Chains A and B, each alone.
Chain A
Amino acid sequence: MNKKRNRINTLKGLLFLSPNIIGFSIFTLFPLGFSLIMAFSNWNLSQHNMFTDEPLKWVLLQNFKDLLGSEDFWRYLGNTLFFMIGIPISMAGSLGAALLLNQDLKSPSKRARSKGILYVLPLIAFSSLLFLGFGMSIMVLIVTGIFGVIYIGGVSGGSTVYRTIFYTPNFTAGVATFILWKKIYNPQTGPLTTITQPILEGVNAVVLFLGKDTIYIFMYVVVVLAIGSLYWGLNTFLKWRSEKDLGYIGLIIGVSALILPSFFVLHWFSHPIASQIMQISVIATIVYFVSQFIAKSSDCICHPEKGMGNAIMLGLGIMALQFLLIGLSNVLYKLPEMSLVGISSPSWLTDYHWAKPSLMFMGFWAAIGSNSMLLYLAALSNVSPELSEAADIDGATKFQKFWNVTWPQLAPVTFFIFIMAVINGMQGGFEVAKTMTGGGPAGSTTTLEYFIYEEGFASGRLAFASAISWILFAMIFALTLFNWRFGNRYVND
Chain B
Amino acid sequence: MTRIFIICLSIISAGTAYITLTRSEDLSGTPILTWVTDPNPARYEQIDFFHDWLIAQGHTDENGDPIVRIQLETGGVDNKKIIHGVSGVAGDILDMYNEVDQFKKLGILEDLTDYADRYGFGPDQTYDAIKNDIVIGGKQFAFPCNVTSHACWINMDVMQAAGIDQLPESWTVEAFERIGKKFVQNMNSSNEAQNYFFMNNPGDDQFVGWITVLMRSKGGSFYNETMTECILDQGPFAEMIDLNIKWIEEDRIFPNAAEASSFSASGGYGGAKMSLFLEGKYGMINLGRWLLVRMREMENPPKVAVSRYPYFDYENTTIGSRCSSIYKGSKHKDLAALFLAFLASDKYNNQIVDCADALPPNPNFCSSQRFLRPSEYPNEWGAHGAAFRSADEVAIPDAKSLFISQQILGRELRTAFEKVQSKLSNSAIASLQAAEAVNEEIKRNVSNSLRLEKKFKNALALQAKIDAFKKAGKKIPVDWISNPFLKKYYRSLGMLEETK
Contact = CB atoms under 8 A, between A and B. Distances in A.
Direct contact of A and B (CB under 8 A): yes
B258 interface: yes
Interface string A446-490: 000000001001111000000000000000000000000000000
B79 A457 contact: yes
Interface of A: 42, 44-47, 49-52, 54-55, 57, 179, 182-183, 185-189, 347-353, 440-444, 454, 457-460
Given A45-B86, A185-B258, 12 more contacts: A44-B445, A49-B107, A51-B329, A52-B106, A182-B261, A182-B264, A186-B258, A188-B259, A348-B258, A350-B256, A444-B422, A458-B411
A460 B82 contact: yes
B262 A441 contact: no
B106 A186 contact: no
Chain B interface helix/strand/loop/mixed: helix
Contacts of A189: 193, 262
B106 A49 contact: yes
Interface stretch (B181-189, B448-456, B459-467, B478-486): B448-456
Contacts of B261: 182, 186
B476 to A, nearest CB: 31
A270 B85 CA distance: 55
Contact of B418 (A44, A188, A348, A442): A442
Contacts of A179: 264-265
B263 to A, nearest CB: 9
Contact of B328 (A51, A186, A348, A459): A51
Contact of A188 (B82, B193, B264): B193
B421 interface: yes
B407 A459 contact: yes
Contacts of B391: none
Contacts of A347: 256-258
A-B pairs with lowest CB-CB distance, top 6: A352-B422, A51-B107, A49-B86, A442-B418, A52-B107, A350-B257
Contacts of A54: 449-451
B436 to A, nearest CB: 11
Nearest to A453: B79
A93 to B, nearest CB: 27
A182 B105 CA distance: 38
B280 to A, nearest CB: 17
B328 A458 contact: no
A82 B453 CA distance: 41
B449 A47 contact: yes
B166 interface: no
A189 B192 CA distance: 12
B419 interface: yes
A349 B422 contact: no
Interface string B88-101: 10000000000000
A444 B419 CA distance: 10
A7 to B, nearest CB: 29
Nearest to A458: B407
Contacts of A350: 256-258
Given A50-B86, A350-B257, A442 B407 contact: no
A46 B405 contact: yes
B259 A459 contact: no
A46 B422 contact: no
B87 A50 contact: yes
Interface of B: 79, 82, 86-88, 102, 105-108, 193, 256-259, 261-262, 264-265, 328-329, 405, 407-408, 411, 414-415, 418-419, 421-424, 445, 448-451
B262 A46 contact: no
Contacts of A351: 422
Nearest to A437: B257
A440 B413 CA distance: 13
Contacts of A187: 258-259
A454 B415 CA distance: 13
Contacts of A46: 102, 105-106, 405
A442 B420 CA distance: 9
Nearest to A45: B86
A480 B423 CA distance: 38
B286 to A, nearest CB: 19
B106 A51 contact: yes
Contact of A442 (B408, B422, B451): B422
Given A52-B106, A52-B107, A441-B421, A47 B258 contact: no
A267 to B, nearest CB: 16
A179 B264 CA distance: 7
Contacts of A460: 82, 405
Contacts of B102: 46
A454 B445 CA distance: 16
A42 B448 contact: yes
A50 B408 CA distance: 24
A458 B99 CA distance: 13
A47 B448 contact: yes
B215 to A, nearest CB: 21
Contact of A349 (B193, B258, B418): B258
Contacts of B107: 49, 51-52
A353 to B, nearest CB: 8
A444 B449 CA distance: 33
Nearest to A349: B258
Given A45-B82, A188-B262, A352 B424 contact: yes
Nearest to B425: A442
B259 A440 contact: no
20 contacts: A44-B448, A45-B106, A49-B86, A49-B87, A50-B86, A50-B88, A52-B107, A54-B450, A186-B262, A187-B258, A347-B257, A348-B258, A349-B258, A350-B257, A351-B422, A441-B418, A442-B421, A458-B79, A458-B407, A460-B405
A305 B405 CA distance: 54
A55 B105 CA distance: 15
A5 B296 CA distance: 80
A42 to B, nearest CB: 5
Nearest to B107: A51
Contact of A459 (B405, B449, B451): B405
Contacts of A441: 257, 418, 421-422
A460 B404 CA distance: 12
A185 to B, nearest CB: 8
A403 to B, nearest CB: 39
Nearest to B102: A46
A209 B449 CA distance: 68
